[in-house]
Structure 1
Amino acid sequence: MNKPLDYIFPNPPEGLDPRQLDPARVPQHVAVIMDGNGRWAKKRALNRLRGHKAGIEAVRETIRCASDVGVRYLTIYSFSTENWKRPEDEVVGLMDLFAKTMLAEVDGLHEEHVRVRTIGDVSALPEATRAAFDEAWEKTRGNTGMTLAVAVNYGSRQEILHAVEGCVRRALLEEAEGRDPLAAVSEEAFARGLYTTGMPDPDLVIRTSGEMRISNFLLWQIAYSEFYCTDVLWPDFDRYEFLRALLDYQGRDRRFGAVK
């Protein structure tokens, strides 16, 4: 972090002190399950797509704040493999929103040295949406700041099956060449087949809107992640809500199964 806390959090609400944040203990990887766009819109008698559009500002704010405080990896759960079951007009609108938002934001992300990548099966996305994410990756792939991983058409069960398939293929190759096929099976080899290869496991998972579900998100990777759930609906999630999550995380005693 190279920006002072009072610059990142200039107008904290009463009772929230940014100076309590220890820059040396900021989580390396934060993953966010963004939930509540539809309920936010319903409370205002708007259609669900208006809620998704309102959530873009929360995404923008979270990216900026995470980068400023020193988070190295931020993963946002944008569209799951199950979300295809939603009404067609909502899905079409979301895909268009993803493409337009990515193209509108990529230059600013590049200026902030953020690297943008996707996790999930992007081959199933509409061409314009896929092209926007590809363009963002090509433009920012050499950046050395925070990595933003957009989980789109992502499902952890699907991802696990993909990784298992990779292990099986390697095991068959080992066997065909006269070596022990089990040598191809290990946690490290399995992890290399995940969409998140090259990224550390999340330290902190944030879920908004009061829900208490994992929703098929990073099942392998969050084995020892800390969870922070808030009743705040995603469009209302701002840098101060992010600060609350970070402070809560820094109050945890992470033992990873050991006794201290």
Structure 2
Amino acid sequence: MIKRLWAKLSGSIAPKPASMEEGNVPTHVAIIMDGNGRWAKKRGLPRMAGHHSGMKTVKRITIAADRLGIKYLTMYAFSTENWKRPKAEVDFLMKLPQQFLEIELDELIANNVQVRMMGSRDNLPSHTIHALEEAVSKTAGNTGLVLNFALNYGSRIEMLDAIKHIALDVKNGKLDAEDIDEDVMSSRLLTCDIPDPDLLIRTSGELRLSNFMLWQLAYSEFWFTDVYWPEFTEKHFHEAIETYQRRARRYGGL
């Protein structure tokens, strides 16, 4: 039944464009989901309405990514800087993972999606942590698309923590300073067991990284759009993938 529901919704997703190259899709796509509040304001709605609508977009894009054969999808859900927002908005945002997973978890399990979370659990409400830990636990054995939520995540903190761990290993004689290289640094990051993003998408017209995966995005392709996240569709997603396919990734070479 659940698979049929997923298939039914998948059937409403725009088909892959004929112009899209077979097989040449990014392994890992990262998305900065931006513009929920501005989308709501434009319509005379409270900001919370934008966040709620944006939650529905997460499912649509997850299905679209899964259908294309993308292996990892990282969604920037809440940054360490977002705590500066009004308490009512933060409280609402902390409820969204629970609401999303209560509705979607069974479908994610049935369709072999593995849920992960990267970020600090510090300051997160217990109901948010419980919902995410349950989703991570119940989908741990799934081997399909990895849906990775960056929640209470900040790249600078992530890198500082990695450096501290490396320094401690050097101090304790577990690592020689001259052996520190990019692989060592990468192995201490929260993404140590997944590849760096091939493609970063940011919605809403903003042209910055906002402290998101600064190390991991060193050689990623970027794609920006003025479209707000709640109105971001699979057609926009396909456009981003097609743009990626037209680019030559030389990694500093010729």
TM-score, L = length of structure 2: 0.93
Distance across 2 between alignment mates of 1:232 and 1:8: 23
Out of 235, 238, 243, the position equivalent to 2:233 is 238
**How big is the alpha-carbon RMSD for the aligned residues of Structure 1 and Structure 2?**
1.6
Local SS of the residue matching 2:151: strand
Instruction: Note the alpha carbon deviations across 1:99-126, whole angstroms, 9 max, x for none.
Output: 1212221111111111101011023210
Distance across 2 between alignment mates of 1:48 and 1:77: 18
1:119-138 superposed matches below 5 A: 119-138=118-137
Q: Which residue of 1 aligns with 2:213?
A: 218
Distance across 2 between alignment mates of 1:10 and 1:139: 26
Distance across 2 between alignment mates of 1:184 and 1:124: 35
Q: Which residue of 1 aligns with 2:186?
A: 191
Counterpart AA for 2:62: I
Distance across 2 between alignment mates of 1:256 and 1:184: 23
Q: Which residue of 2 aligns with 1:71?
A: 70
1:65-144 superposed matches below 5 A: 65-144=64-143
CA contact (8 A) 2:13 2:234 kept: no
Question: 1:10–1:207: structure 2 CA closer, same or farther, 3 Å change rule?
Answer: closer
> 1:222 Cα deviation (Å)?
0.3
**More deviation, 148-157/184-193:** 184-193
CA contact (8 A) 1:115 1:145 kept: yes
Local SS of the residue matching 1:256: coil
1:198-209 superposed matches below 5 A: 198-209=193-204
Q: Which residue of 2 aligns with 1:3?
A: none
Instruction: Note the alpha carbon deviations across 1:80-103, whole angstroms, 9 max, x for none.
Output: 000000000000011112212122
TM-score, L = length of structure 1: 0.90
Give the number of aligned pairs: 245
Gaps of 5+ in 2: 1-9
Local SS of the residue matching 2:159: helix
Local SS of the residue matching 1:20: coil
> 1:181 Cα deviation (Å)?
2.6
Distance across 1 between alignment mates of 2:51 and 2:157: 25
- Kindly indicate whether residue 166 of structure 2 is the aligned counterpart of residue 167 of structure 1: yes
CA contact (8 A) 2:13 2:64 kept: no
Local SS of the residue matching 1:254: coil
Gaps of 5+ in 1: 1-6
Counterpart AA for 1:219: L
> 1:11 Cα deviation (Å)?
4.9
Distance across 2 between alignment mates of 1:258 and 1:197: 25
Instruction: Note the alpha carbon deviations across 1:190-222, whole angstroms, 9 max, x for none.
Output: 111111110100000000011101000000000
